[in-house]
Structure 1
């Protein structure tokens, strides 16, 4: 009798141990995101939300890429395109250059190349570049055309999008503004508001082959 009870007790203890082991295994089974075991015990993975894009690079404006020729028109003006003859002016009809290629040179700076019409005349395909006239006297500076030299600081201009397809054009701390009786000049704003913006109109690819 004693032997039978001992065997029975051992068997019951073994069964109890097995039950505890089974429960422990169940606790270690894969669980869903809610914390409950998966029905089949299969491993599941909780989807991870994709990180939002953090690129700070602004979308490239094709008109400022250096790959398009544009005409430039003063928004508040007569509607005549800017022309680079002796100086940059508004519709002077002087036979100057009307097609421009704003070409990025790093940061927010551009060299603005000027071309004549596409008429197979070699001289029209050889660019001039905007340059602040060094002989002018502050506070009003004009812009002329010279041989391009992107390393020259007075050939570097800022072009700032102002919304609705318009731009402000500047050099250092000055902006290109229209003054009655004096035309387009570079001038410090001071306490004044910017009163001159420009619209660029795409005129096709910048694919000139300058004279070598």
Structure 2
């Protein structure tokens, strides 16, 4: 009988200790105020990623609802066009009207269209894509069937505050190199020397081919 009482008492003591430990852990998880009023042990809140780019919410040219031409500020003044490769004023009959379309997290797909001339093929979009056949450190951009889930079709567009934009992909920026044209390249310690101006060309209201 004495042995049974001792075992029962030890079990109750263990349960009480466990409850105290659990309560202490709960206090730490919830955070306890310090004399200065700060809360210690509280979990750090994590900001949720925005559903759409903050720039897209305020800049109509990045809203996905406007067609634009894109011109290199430091260039010839000829708009960019894309067929096999993105280039500057090549007059190759490529597409020159673009719709930067936000897909969340400050990323965009850039849809490309032909001129509005009632030709149905010009209303069916293609999209910019990093050329996967290129070799680092200089990558080109080509036009392919749109797939916003493909990481190499996602671009960053950064407003520079003077009506111009920098265009990039991951850690690279679209730059003009003499002899190479427009390429995506790491800046390293160099200064960004290529920016672009977007010119509004009307609503993005094309009806693609079904």
Interval containing the TM-score (normalised by the shorter chain): 0.7 to 0.9
Partner Cα separation in structure 1 for residue 92 and residue 208 of structure 2: 22
1:171-210 alignment to 2 at 5 Å?
Answer: 171-210=169-208
Structure 1 outlier segments of 4+, above 3 Å: 1-28, 33-44, 46-59
The structure with the larger Rg is: 1
Q: CA deviation at 1:85?
A: 1.4
Where does the alignment leave 5 or more consecutive residues of structure 2 unmatched?
none
Distance in 2 separating the partners of 1:14 and 1:173 = 56
CA contact (8 A) 2:49 2:105 kept: no
2: CA distance, partners of 1:91 / 1:109: 26
Shift of 1:10: 73
RMSD: 12.5
Structure 1 residues 49 and 94: CA distance shift in structure 2, 3 A: closer
- Aligned-partner Cα distance in 2 for 1:145–1:8: 77
Aligned pair in 2 of structure 1 residues 78, 2: CA closer, same or farther (>3 Å)? Answer: closer
Q: Is the 8 A contact 2:53 2:102 kept in 1?
A: no
| Normalised TM-score (structure 1) | 0.73
Superposed displacement of residue 26, structure 1:
50
Contact 2:66 2:99 in 1 (8 A): yes
**Aligned CA distance change for structure 1 residues 25 and 170 (closer, same or farther; 3 Å):** closer
- The secondary structure found in structure 1 opposite 2:68 is strand
Greater CA drift, 202-211 or 4-13: 4-13
- CA distance in structure 1 between the aligned counterparts of 2:12 and 2:150, rounded to whole angstroms: 96
Deviations 1:2-24 (A, max 9, x none): 99999999999999999999999
1:34-60 residue CA offsets vs partner (Å, 9 max, x unmatched): 99999999999x999999999988851
Task: Spell out, residue by residue over 1:54-100, the C-alpha distance to the aligned partner (whole angstroms, 9 max, x if none).
Answer: 99888510000000000000000000000001100000000000000
Sort the Cα spacing of 1:119 and 1:172 in 2 relative to 1 into closer, same or farther, 3 A: same
